[in-house]
């Protein structure tokens, strides 16, 4: 199906492990974003990308790494997961016309 998909939907990991969350979009949108949402709070921007091979830090980038080798994919890696990174992670994409972002269904990550 066309759209934006995130995988996995749910992930449980342990402190210190590396975790990669995947995001794939089929619209060829230039921009892609990663947000985290902690329980009862709004979304906070982690990283974003304006195009392939171009990434920039958002509000809360520490502890995360991103890459964008292809336009359609924007993986987010937690190199050494910590309990404070337990959260719901949302990926979004946006075309060049207007600031309309389209969000994935989210990945619920628990770090034990």
Min. distance of Cβ 18 from other proteins in angstroms? 25
Indicate whether 44 belongs to the interface with other proteins (CB under 8 A). yes
Residues in the chain, overall count: 112
Q: Among the candidate windows 10-18, 19-27, 73-81, 104-112, which touches other proteins by CB under 8 A? A: 104-112
Residue from 14, 38, 53, 59 binding other proteins (CB under 8 A): 59
Q: Which two tokens stand for residue 97?
A: 């016309």
- Torsion (CA) 34, 77, 109, 39 in degrees, nearest 10: -40
Residue 83 DSSP class:
G
Q: Among the candidate windows 13-21, 41-49, 63-71, 76-84, which touches other proteins by CB under 8 A? A: 41-49
């Amino acid at each position: 199906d066309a759209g934006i998909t995130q995988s996995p939907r749910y992930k449980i990991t342990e402190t210190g492990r590396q975790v990669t969350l995947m995001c794939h979009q089929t619209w060829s949108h230039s921009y892609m974003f990663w947000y985290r949402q902690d329980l009862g709070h709004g979304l906070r921007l982690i990283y974003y990308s304006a195009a392939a091979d171009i990434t920039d830090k958002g509000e809360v980038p520490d502890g995360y790494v991103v890459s964008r080798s292809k336009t359609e994919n924007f993986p987010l890696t937690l190199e050494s997961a910590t309990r404070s990174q337990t959260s719901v992670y949302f990926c979004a994409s946006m075309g060049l016309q207007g600031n309309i972002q389209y969000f994935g269904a989210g990945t619920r990550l628990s770090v034990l």
